[in-house]
Amino acid sequence: MSPLSHQLIVPPHIEYLLVNQDLLILETSLAVKRFVDDPYEPLVGKHITDSFPELIGIEDFLMAVLEGEQESFDLKGIGRVTVEGSALYFDIYVTLGKNQENCLFFFVEDVTERMMLEQKLVQASNENSLLANNLATSQKYINQIIHSMAAILLVTTPSGKIKTANKTALDLFGYRETELIGQSIFTIISDKRFIKQASQQHPLFNTLLNNIQVLCQTKTGERLVISFSCSAIQTELEELPSLIYVGRDITERQRTQQRLAAQYTTTCILSESATFSQAIPKLLRGICESLEWDLGELWIPVDSEKGETASKLLRCAEIWVKPSVAIPKCIESYWQTTFAPGKGLPGRIWVTSSPQWVGEKVDDDQSLPSESPFQGQLRTALGFPIQGGGDILGVMTFFNREVQHLDEDLLQVMANLGSQIGQFIKRKQAEEALRNQQEQTERLLLNILPEPTAKRLKQQPGTIADDFAEVTVMFADIVGFTQIAASLSPIELVELLNQIFSAFDRLTEKHGLEKIKTVGDAYMVVSGIPKPRVDHAEAIAKMALDMLVAIAQFNANNNQTFSIRIGIHSGPVVAGVIGIKKFIYDLWGDTVNTASRMESHGLAGKIHLTAATYERLRNKFLFEERGKIPVKGKGEMTTYFLIGRKE
C-alpha cells in the first residue's frame, strides 16, 4: 500500500495517480496499470500523456485545474482493449490535490460494466437511433476537442490524404480548410520518408511514432520544423484505419539551437586558428552548416585599379558551397567579382556597417553578382560586416535555397559574430606587428651581441665576463686611410667603407666567426667565441686570405687602390659585456693587444701573425718567416707572414 493511500478515502473500484505541475507521474495505486496504454512500462517519472495518450492536446485544461482557474476536469468513456482481448472502459476525473501542493489527482474509475449495460439497454430500446445520436455527439465532442487544441492535429488516410485539420494547423501552415482537405499531406510535410514509415509500420490502436522531427513548409514556402507523434485509429464504419498526427512547432527552438551552434563553432575555429586566412574557409563552412544555409562568401576591401584617385572595392576572397548544391563550372569567375560601395548586398552592408536580410528577392535585389552562376537558385540572403577598431575589415554573406522570413535574433547573432571575427583579426594584426617588432629587435641585438650572450643578458641583466683559453683574434686596417679620406667627401668615404666592411661581414658569417667591432677603418674579428672550436686559428686564416681577395675585387670594381694590413694572434682572452648603456661585446687580455700589435707592425697587403698562431697552422698553410722584430710593449718577437694554403 502506497503512503498516499493512507491519506485518501478512495473507493476500492477507483484507482488514482498523483501528477506534478510538469504532468510527470509521482505516485500511483497498485492496480492503475491495467488502464494505461502500455501496462508493461513503469509509470513513475513518465509524462501522464505517455500512459494516457487520450490526454494529448488537453494539457491547457489540466493546467487550468492546477492553477485554480477550473475546479476539475473529467474525461469519460475511455476505451481500451486489454492484453486478453477484452474491452475495458474507464472514466478519468482530475482535481487539485488538497494536501499536495502543485499536484493533480487523476482518479480512474472502471466503468466497463456500466458502459456495457448502457450499450445493451440503448441497443435494445432503439439501437439505430442511439447509434446515430452517439455518433453525432461523439463527432461534436471530437470536433470541439480538435478545434480547441493548441497542438497541430491532422487526420489522414493511410495513403496520406488529409481528412481533418484543426484551426492551429490551418493557421500555422497558412491554408484555408477548403484548400487543405482532400490534398496530400505531402503538401505540408516535405519529408516523404516520414509518411511512408507512418503508413507502413503502425500497429492498430498503439502509438506509432513519438516526437519525430519533420521538415514542413507553409503555403508561402517557409520552412518549419514540427515534432509529430502519429497514431492509427479505426472505426467500424471504415475498412481502413486513419492516421492521426499530433504535432508541435519547434522551429524557433531549433533556430535557437542553430544560433548557439554557430556562435560555438565560430569561437572554436577562431581559438584554433593561427591566422585569419586559416580561419576563413572553416568559418564559412561552420556557419553554413550550423544554420543549414547553402552558400557562404567573404568579401574584403581592395584598392580600385581604375583611375588615379584612391578608391576601394569589395572583392570575393573565399566561397563555400554546400556539397548538395550543384557547383557551376564558371565558379572560378567569382574570384574576379567586385562590388562598389552601396552596390549589391555586400556593398550595402559595407556602407551601412550593419547586418542586412533579403527575402524572396535575392535576384531582383542584385544581392548576387550579375554574372553569378547561382542566379535563380537562391531565395534568401543575409550578411554582416566584420568590424574591428571602427574599421570595416570585410563582409560575410550567406544564401539559402529555401524561403526564410526575417529573423531579427539571427541578424543580431551575426552582428556579434562580425565583431568577434573583427576583434580576432585586429588581435592577430597586433600580434603580427609585435612579432615583427620583436624579430627586428632580436636582429638588432644579435648584430651587437653573440646569440648566447644576448639570451643571457635578456634573462639576467648585468655584467657578463667569460674566460676563453683558446681563441684567435684578428685585426684588419686600411693602409693610408687618412690620406684617402682627405681626397673623398664624407658621404663617399662612408659608402666605400660600408662596401668593404659589408664584404668582410659576409666573410665572417661564411667562416662562422664573431665580429667584435669596427673602429674607424679598423675591423676586429675573433674565432672560438662564444662557442669554442678546435679549428679557431684555421678559420681566421681562411678569412684573412679571403679578405685580401675581397679587397682586390673591390679595387677592381671601384677603380680604387685600397690595401689592408692584417694582424693575427692566438691565446686566452676574457670576453663579455660591461656597463648599463649602449652594450658592446668586447675582448680583453694580452692576446687582444698582441693581435693589434701584429696589425700595426705589419705590412700593406700582408697577413702578419705570431709564432703562437704559426704553430697552430704550419701543417696546413704556407708561411714566410719575417724573423725577429721589435714590438711595442712586447720586445723582440719572431713573426710570420701567411702566404696561402698548402695544396
Q: Is the pLDDT at 529 greater than 70, yes or no? A: yes
What is the spatial distance between Cα 56 and Cα 67, in angstroms, rounded to a whole number? 19
Nearest Cα residue to 288 out of 401, 364, 373, 370: 401
The residue out of 215, 249, 283 marking a domain boundary is 249
Domain count for the chain, please give it: 4
The pLDDT value recorded for residue 157 is 86
Taking the CA atoms of the chain, what radius of gyration do you get in angstroms? 47
Taking only the tens place, the pLDDT of each residue in 627-639 is 899 998 889 999 9
Non-local CB neighbours of 334 within 8 Å, separated by 6+ positions: 297, 316, 319, 369, 372, 373
Same structural domain, 483 and 563: yes
Q: Is the pLDDT at 549 greater than 90, yes or no? A: yes
What is the spatial distance between Cα 638 and Cα 543, in angstroms, rounded to a whole number? 23
What are the two backbone dihedrals, phi and then psi, of residue 623, each rounded to the nearest 5 degrees? Answer: -135, 160
Nearest Cα residue to 588 out of 524, 632, 502, 631: 524
Concatenated DSSP letters of 231-253 = EEE--TT-SSPEEEEEEEE-HHH
Same structural domain, 153 and 273: no
Higher pLDDT, 212 or 140: 212
342 assigned to some structural domain: yes
Average of per-residue pLDDT across 130-153: 71
Average of per-residue pLDDT across 295-319: 77
Same structural domain, 414 and 527: no
What is the spatial distance between Cα 226 and Cα 246, in angstroms, rounded to a whole number? 10
116 assigned to some structural domain: no
Same structural domain, 589 and 461: yes
318 assigned to some structural domain: yes
Which contacts of 367-373 are long-range, i.e. CB under 8 A and separated by 24 or more positions? 367/397, 367/399, 368/344, 368/399, 369/334, 369/337, 369/339, 369/344, 371/330, 371/333, 371/337, 372/334, 372/337, 373/327, 373/328, 373/329, 373/330, 373/331, 373/333, 373/334
Helices 408-448 and 451-459 sit at what angle, rounded to 10 degrees? 120
Taking only the tens place, the pLDDT of each residue in 190-232 is 776 665 665 555 444 444 577 788 888 888 888 888 888 888 8
Are 598 and 569 a contacting pair, CB within 8 Å?
yes
Taking only the tens place, the pLDDT of each residue in 370-402 is 556 566 677 788 999 999 888 889 999 998 888
Same structural domain, 204 and 275: no
List the CATH number of the domain containing 18: 3.30.450.20
Same structural domain, 291 and 326: yes
Taking only the tens place, the pLDDT of each residue in 441-496 is 666 655 566 666 556 665 566 556 678 899 999 999 988 877 777 777 888 888 88
132 assigned to some structural domain: no
The residue out of 90, 110, 130 marking a domain boundary is 110
CB atoms within 10 A of CB 469: 9
Q: Is the pLDDT at 102 greater than 80, yes or no? A: yes
The pLDDT value recorded for residue 308 is 43
Alpha-carbon distances, residue 323 vs 141, 292, 298 (angstroms): 51, 12, 18
Residue 515's pLDDT band, with cuts at 50, 70 and 90, is confident
Taking only the tens place, the pLDDT of each residue in 31-88 is 888 888 888 888 899 998 888 988 888 888 889 988 888 889 998 888 888 878 888 8
Q: Which domain holds residue 80?
A: 4-110
List the CATH number of the domain containing 402: 3.30.450.40
Are 597 and 608 a contacting pair, CB within 8 Å?
no
Same structural domain, 268 and 357: yes
The pLDDT value recorded for residue 519 is 83
Residue 236's pLDDT band, with cuts at 50, 70 and 90, is low
Same structural domain, 501 and 636: yes
Element (H, E) at 566: strand 564-577
pTM exceeds 0.75 for this model: no
Q: Name the percent of the chain lying above pLDDT 90.
A: 28
474 assigned to some structural domain: yes
Q: Is the pLDDT at 362 greater than 80, yes or no? A: no
Q: Is the pLDDT at 502 greater than 60, yes or no? A: yes
Average of per-residue pLDDT across 243-261: 89
Same structural domain, 485 and 595: yes
573 assigned to some structural domain: yes
192 assigned to some structural domain: yes
Residue 547's pLDDT band, with cuts at 50, 70 and 90, is very high
Q: Is 388 helix (H, G, I), strand (E, B) or coil?
A: strand
Q: Is the pLDDT at 300 greater than 60, yes or no? A: yes
Same structural domain, 106 and 156: no
Average pLDDT, the chain: 82
Taking only the tens place, the pLDDT of each residue in 404-426 is 888 889 999 999 999 999 898 88
Give the helix ranges, DSSP H, for 449-566: 451-459, 481-486, 490-511, 536-558
Residue 309's pLDDT band, with cuts at 50, 70 and 90, is very low
Are 292 and 258 a contacting pair, CB within 8 Å?
yes
Concatenated DSSP letters of 198-236 = HHHSPPTTSEEEEEEEEEEE-TT-BEEEEEEEEEEE--T
Same structural domain, 225 and 325: no
133 assigned to some structural domain: no
Same structural domain, 235 and 261: no
The residue out of 47, 82, 110 marking a domain boundary is 110
List the CATH number of the domain containing 562: 3.30.70.1230
